[in-house]
């Protein structure tokens, strides 16, 4: 493809094509690239431009297994919203193009499962209101899941205009996180000035997602970034020119800046998958301290020479942040244990001990 259509660029097609994509496209000369906007049990809805969606068939091995039949392809290896695929005859997916990022979470349920929430995301805005809902611990949880995904996290503090909002206090509380290179920006999500404040992360070709709990201001921010009241502009097109059923989809929203926003459910509750690393998952500061404890297996409780406790006593590390580090670390370790036994089930091998080092209290050298 020499010059990609503007429609494709509006939904996140980048000018700098991955060389692996060129190879895949060369291998399927009759296929055209499209982006996944919905995933269903037996197929996908893909788009080649803003606002459209066409149901296509997927490769049989990608179809979700029914009943107890095990799928041959792990859920996280099947296309998800945001993935680029190659489609033949406008109706059949023939290839999944390699991802540059993937935001995943652990899915609830008896058996270990991962869920890919969105693929090929460049920027994740972690949205949190500066009202009574402000919750540093929740921001840390979101950051843990976003970092390592390949997407750059940016904390967006909404409701800065409210009387009780204290952006300075929030920045102070986020100092540890900002020092690790995660920007934090306070905005009034209802004000067009928010667009300018967030412009550094809305470059043409970039794909952005908003994560954050209910009421944080994601829809409000989306509308402001769009510059229109999008939520009231849903229209349904029954049939396209070829007579196939199409619907208007709002999963991929082109922004005036040239960036593209993925709006997908599932961005609210994020549980670790077990693959997260606390060091690059936003807790690098705590990890650096933990490495300085006298005992390599320090649990940061009452051990002498504990650098973590000392930093808390000196007021250099917030105790709430430390407790959240231990809590999230425990969740990652538990998920990692389940992941390891799933892999072992698959390979008929003994569970790998890789999970053990994930737990913050026994990472530093328990034999």
Ligand X SMILES: Nc1nc2c(ncn2[C@@H]2O[C@H](COP(=O)(O)OP(=O)(O)OP(=O)(O)O)[C@@H](O)[C@H]2O)c(=O)[nH]1
Interface residues with ligand X (CB under 6 A) are: 158-159, 161-162, 188-190, 212, 214-220
Q: Any binding-site annotation on 216? A: yes
CB of 40 or CB of 268, closer to ligand X: 268
Q: Point out which span in 146-154, 184-192, 234-242, 293-301 binds Zn ion (CB under 5 A).
A: 293-301
259 contacts which partner out of Zn ion, ligand X, none, CB within 5 to 8 A by kind? Answer: none
CB of 255 or CB of 317, closer to ligand X: 255
CB of 294 or CB of 346, closer to Zn ion: 294
Q: Hey, what are 81's tokens?
A: 């919203």
Q: Is 317 in the site for Zn ion (CB under 5 A)?
A: no
216 contacts which partner out of Zn ion, ligand X, none, CB within 5 to 8 A by kind? Answer: ligand X
Q: Are strands 152-158 and 184-186 parallel, antiparallel or unpaired?
A: parallel
d(CA 35, CA 338): 32
Q: Any binding-site annotation on 366? A: no
- Count of residues touching Zn ion (by CB under 5 A): 5
293 contacts which partner out of ligand X, Zn ion, none, CB within 5 to 8 A by kind? Answer: Zn ion
State the SS3 of the chain. Answer: CCCCCHHHHHCCCCCCCCHHHHHHHHHCCCCEEEEEEEECCCEEEEECCCCCCEEEECCHHHCCCCCCCCCCCCHHHCCCCCCEEEEECCCEEEEECCCCCEEEEECCCCCCCEEEEEECCCEEEEEEECCCCCCHHHHHHHHHHHCCCCCEEEEEEECCCCCCCCHHHHHHHCHHHHHCCCCEEECCCCCCHHHHHHHHHCCCCCEEEEECCCCCCHHHHHHHHHCCCHHHCCCCCCECCCCCEECCCCCEEECCCCCEEECCCCCCCCCCCCCCCCCCCCCHHHHHHHCCCCCCCCCCCCCCCCHHHHHHHCCCCCHHHHHHHHHHHHHHHHHHHHHHHHHHHHHCCCCCHHHHHHCHHHCCCCC
Q: Any binding-site annotation on 58? A: no
306 contacts which partner out of Zn ion, ligand X, none, CB within 5 to 8 A by kind? Answer: Zn ion
For Zn ion, the binding residue among 54, 102, 136, 293 (CB under 5 A) is: 293
Write down the least CB distance from residue 215 to ligand X, Å.
Answer: 4
Write down the least CB distance from residue 278 to Zn ion, Å.
Answer: 14
CB of 46 or CB of 198, closer to ligand X: 198
Q: Any binding-site annotation on 284? A: no
CB of 67 or CB of 164, closer to ligand X: 164
Write down the least CB distance from residue 323 to ligand X, Å.
Answer: 26
Q: Any binding-site annotation on 306? A: yes
Q: Any binding-site annotation on 217? A: yes
For Zn ion, the binding residue among 35, 105, 141, 300 (CB under 5 A) is: 300
- Contact present, 192 and 224 (Cβ < 8 Å): yes
Q: Is 326 in the site for Zn ion (CB under 5 A)?
A: no
d(CA 204, CA 307): 45
11 contacts which partner out of ligand X, Zn ion, none, CB within 5 to 8 A by kind? Answer: none
Q: Is 306 in the site for Zn ion (CB under 5 A)?
A: yes
Write down the least CB distance from residue 316 to Zn ion, Å.
Answer: 14
Q: Any binding-site annotation on 239? A: no
Binding site for Zn ion (CB under 5 A): 293, 298, 300, 306, 308
Binding-site residues sit at 158-161, 212-220, 293, 298, 300, 306
């Amino acid at each position: 493809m020499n010059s990609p259509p503007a429609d494709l660029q509006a939904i996140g097609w980048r000018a700098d094509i991955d060389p692996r994509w060129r190879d895949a496209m060369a291998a399927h000369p009759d296929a055209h690239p499209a982006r996944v906007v919905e995933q269903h049990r037996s197929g996908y809805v893909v788009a080649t431009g803003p606002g459209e969606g066409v149901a296509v068939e997927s490769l049989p091995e990608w179809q979700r297994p029914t009943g107890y039949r095990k799928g041959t392809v792990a859920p996280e290896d099947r296309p998800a919203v945001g993935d680029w695929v190659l489609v033949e005859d406008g109706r059949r997916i023939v290839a999944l193009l390699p991802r540059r990022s993937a935001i995943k979470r652990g899915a609830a349920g008896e058996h270990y499962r991962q869920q890919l929430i969105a693929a090929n995301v460049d920027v994740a805005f972690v949205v949190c209101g500066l009202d009574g809902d402000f919750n540093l611990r929740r921001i840390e949880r979101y950051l843990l899941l976003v970092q390592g995904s390949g997407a750059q996290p940016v904390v967006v503090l909404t409701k800065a205009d409210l009387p009780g909002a204290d952006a300075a206090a929030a920045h102070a509380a986020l100092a540890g996180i900002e020092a690790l290179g995660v920007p934090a920006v306070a905005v009034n999500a209802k004000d067009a000035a928010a667009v300018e404040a967030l412009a550094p992360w809305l470059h043409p070709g970039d794909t952005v997602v908003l994560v954050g709990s209910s009421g944080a201001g994601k829809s409000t921010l989306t509308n402001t970034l769009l510059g229109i009241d999008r939520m009231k502009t849903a229209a349904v097109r029954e049939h396209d020119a070829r007579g196939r059923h199409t619907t208007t989809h709002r999963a991929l929203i082109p922004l005036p800046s040239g960036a593209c926003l993925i709006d997908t459910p599932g961005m609210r509750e994020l549980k670790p998958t077990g693959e997260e690393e606390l060091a690059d998952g936003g807790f690098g500061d705590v990890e650096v301290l933990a490495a300085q404890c006298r005992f390599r297996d320090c649990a940061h409780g009452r051990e002498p020479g504990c650098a973590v406790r000392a930093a808390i006593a000196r007021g250099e590390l917030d105790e709430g942040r430390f407790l959240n580090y231990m809590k999230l670390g425990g969740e990652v370790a538990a998920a990692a244990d389940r992941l390891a036994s799933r892999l072992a089930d698959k390979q008929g091998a003994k569970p790998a001990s890789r999970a053990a080092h994930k737990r913050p209290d026994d990472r530093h050298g328990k034999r």
